[in-house]
Copies of this chain bind each other. A is one copy, B any other.
Amino acid sequence: MSDDGICDDTTGMSLMQEDESYRLLSSYKIPVPHHRVVQNKEEAVAAADAIGYPVVVKVISKQVIHKSDAGGVITGCHDASGVRNAVDLIRSSVIKRYPLATIDGYLVAEQLPPGLELLIGGRTDPSFGKVITFGLGGIYVEMIKDTTMRILPVSSRELSLMIREISGYRLISGYRGVHPYDEPFLLSILEKMVNLFLDHETLAEFDLNPFRLYEERGCIIDARLYCRDSSHSKPDKKGIRRLPVPQSLLSPTGIAVVGASQNPDKIGYTIMRNMLAFSGREYPVNPKGGELFGRNVYRSLNDIPDPVDMVVVAVPASVVPGVITDAAAIGARVVVIVSAGFSEIGVEGKARQDRIKKIAAESGMRLVGPNCLGIIVPSDHLNATFTNVIPAEGKIGFISQSGAVITSVTDWSLREGIGFSSIISVGNQADLDIVDYIRLLGDDEKTSVIIVYVEEIRDGKGFMEVASGVGAKKPIIALKSGSSEHGRIAARSHTGSLAGSYATYQKAFEQCGVIPVHGMREAFLTGALLAEDGYPHANRAIIITNAGGLGVLASDYAEDYGVHLISLSDSLYSDLHSALPPEWSQNNPIDIIGDADIERFSRVFDICIRHKSEWDIAFVIISPVARIDLVSLAHEIIRFCGHVNAMIIGCMLGGVSVEAGSSILRKTHISTFTDLKDAFCAVGTVVKAKERRDKRE
């Protein structure tokens, strides 16, 4: 729609006239005002007489969308002369504002009493298909943006959660002496609108604003429904039918590197060098033959005498189709195409990409990439990429739509002691896509947490379906970029149709149990925490610290990130009180005072072990003072951890001085942070994810 209120058809959508909309809504038993369509003043008066005063008169014109702004709506007509004046006034205002508009008639409708103004909307997201939105209506909707959404289809349970999650819910449930509004009725309207929206494929967007809710029942006031013109093809939002992903992608035994080169400036050189440690067999391939890193270089794939299940390709794009054909011929299951020069460079590249996809499909071989960094499986010393960092082995599976993000993250992860089960760079996703990789890592025993960096998900429905299933077994954490205008432009998407889409991704993640995060650091600190500890039993946290100031800051962060600090029970309090000097904080955070030695920490740990049924999460927050040997304290924390089945978080806050202590904790798989805010952010993210799971179960 254009901004001036006149309908244009560049978007391929047309606005349904209000009386048509009312008819459609009524057929779903959604209440609309009593109304009649008339052509002139006298018909209008007759209609008003029949409906009963007061009435509203609205213009009917295909060209006028924002009727109010155009002077096309007059409310409060209390008698026949009021109705006549209204018709005159509307005609003159509309003609003045839009000289080219055709007036098709007037809608005379009963004027309903005031109520709570709500908004119910629907639109079609390019990735996830139809979504429903809900929030406060009227002028407040745009001002305070208190709306929420769900991707369809959706359960009635979800719809009722949706009603309760807007801040304005307090207005619905009865606020400050105001009677509650009819929430069950509201829910039934949402359900009906969902059905109506899903039943009508060409219905692309709608706005019921306001929907007026009363103490009993409610009624649509203004309805704008937009249909997709049949001339515009509608995006297919059904999930793609997916073939199984060969498990050998993560555990190949024989790998050929096509393009392995003697020239250190070539990517093929770096990949082959990184492949030397591979625990299976690796075969360099280059038409020049010769020797590389002491290995015989085969002139073609066909020359390799042993079975090859994976081929890594780092040759110019023009040569790639031939390599794919050869790979299929020798029975490879997976080809990892590092080479660039495909769909990312335009039409020519797209054609080439389609060609290799077709060759692979014919033989049932699967493709990773093209235009990707490759894959890494640390446990098998498999590094089929051109990075210069070898990440550590661990339990995190990382799927990334950006190679550079992998490079930076793996480099950072080494210092933080974070390890990986596998790292997959998805590239152009000619064949295998993010959804396939999530399925793959879902079945991979070495992976206990999946982290995904996403710029765009094409098959939103497939993603949600697969992520729901996999997420039930192991946590999936997703970082979606492109929340900003510049980010969206950078993704070259059509601004109009993708506007607000970032919010849709976030909702989609929540709806299918994926944990949304907003930065790489948060993603990996949360992932590492989940890999070590899983979800806590519940959200009852204690803080043990030798630093009052850090305790105060920690309390603030706990609240900011939704970590619940318990009040100490009488018996826990008195046990602590008898074990601690009188100046202790008397409260949670348990500040055991700056002069605490290891023994005092140890006494407090013992007390917390005895009271372990009272809490689920313990933060041990340590300021590195001279009197405490952090290595010994680390061993005390390990002992503490051994006696409880809870989430223990070690926070030794500082830099170089805390490294030895922190590193001991990490090596014994105790979650460790050197920054206080990071610790509460990660635990808060996990706690919130757990609470969302519990709410849905």
Where the two chains meet, the residues of A that have a C-beta atom closer than 8 Å to any C-beta of B are: 68-69, 139-140, 142-144, 146, 167-168, 170-171, 175-178, 265, 270, 344-345, 386-389, 400-405, 407-408, 411-416, 453, 455, 481-487, 489-491, 519-521, 546-553, 555-560, 565, 583, 585, 587-589, 591, 594, 623-627, 653-658, 674-677
Contact = CB atoms under 8 A, between A and B. Distances in A.
A624 B484 contact: no
Given A405-B547, A549-B453, A589-B486, A411 B344 contact: no
B142 A144 contact: no
B623 A407 contact: yes
B624 A552 contact: no
A447 B482 CA distance: 40
Which 7 A-B pairs have CB atoms at the shortest separation, nearest pair first? A402-B549, A404-B547, A411-B654, A415-B655, A484-B559, A404-B623, A486-B555
A408 B653 contact: yes
A4 to B, nearest CB: 14
Given A412-B653, A588-B486, A656-B414, A550 B519 contact: no
A140 B655 CA distance: 47
Contacts of A402: 547-550, 552
Contacts of A658: 411
A580 to B, nearest CB: 14
A552 B481 contact: yes
20 contacts: A139-B171, A139-B176, A142-B176, A143-B168, A387-B625, A388-B624, A404-B546, A408-B623, A408-B653, A411-B654, A411-B656, A412-B674, A414-B655, A455-B549, A481-B555, A484-B558, A487-B555, A490-B548, A520-B677, A521-B675
A59 to B, nearest CB: 16
Contact of A407 (B411, B413, B483, B625): B625
Contact of A490 (B144, B177, B546, B551): B551
A192 B281 CA distance: 85
Contacts of A404: 546-550, 594, 623, 625
A143 B655 CA distance: 43
Contacts of A491: 552
Contacts of A553: 405, 481, 487, 519-520
Nearest to A483: B556
B623 A559 contact: no
A675 to B, nearest CB: 6
A587 B492 CA distance: 11
Contacts of A171: 139, 143
Given A455-B552, A481-B549, A486 B558 contact: yes
Contacts of A482: 552, 555-556
Most buried by B among A414, A556, A656: A556
A412 to B, nearest CB: 4
Contact of A549 (B405, B411, B552, B677): B405
Contact of A388 (B68, B400, B594, B625): B625
A645 to B, nearest CB: 25
Given A139-B176, A177-B68, A485-B559, A401 B677 contact: no
A146 B146 CA distance: 13
Contacts of A560: 483-484
Contact of A415 (B416, B486, B656): B656
Nearest to A490: B552
Contact of A481 (B387, B389, B556, B594): B556
A143 B175 contact: yes
Nearest to A678: B521
A554 to B, nearest CB: 9
Contacts of A625: 386-388, 404, 407
Contacts of A557: 519
Contact of A487 (B170, B389, B552): B552
Contacts of A490: 548, 551-552, 555, 585, 587, 589, 591
Given A519-B677, A655-B412, A549 B623 contact: no
Contacts of A624: 388-389, 407-408, 411
A520 B621 CA distance: 15
A646 to B, nearest CB: 20
Q: Interface centre among A143, A549, A558, A658, by most B CB within 10 Å?
A: A549
Nearest to A170: B143
A248 to B, nearest CB: 27
Nearest to A559: B484
A354 to B, nearest CB: 20
B389 A657 contact: yes
Contacts of A178: 139
A176 B209 CA distance: 14
Contacts of A583: 344-345
B411 A655 contact: yes
Given A143-B171, A170-B143, A386-B626, A405 B550 contact: yes
A400 B553 CA distance: 13
A677 B677 CA distance: 14
A654 B556 contact: no
Contacts of A176: 69, 139, 142
B487 A403 contact: no
A167 B144 contact: yes
A676 B485 CA distance: 18
A281 B491 CA distance: 64
A587 B588 CA distance: 51
Nearest to A403: B594
Contact of A657 (B144, B411, B548, B589): B411
A388 B487 CA distance: 45
Given A481-B556, A624-B388, A655-B415, A549 B403 contact: yes
Nearest to A413: B655
Contact of A654 (B407, B551, B552): B407
A118 B677 CA distance: 37
Contacts of A549: 400-405, 453, 455, 481
Contacts of A655: 411-416
A167 to B, nearest CB: 6
Contact of A626 (B387, B591, B656): B387
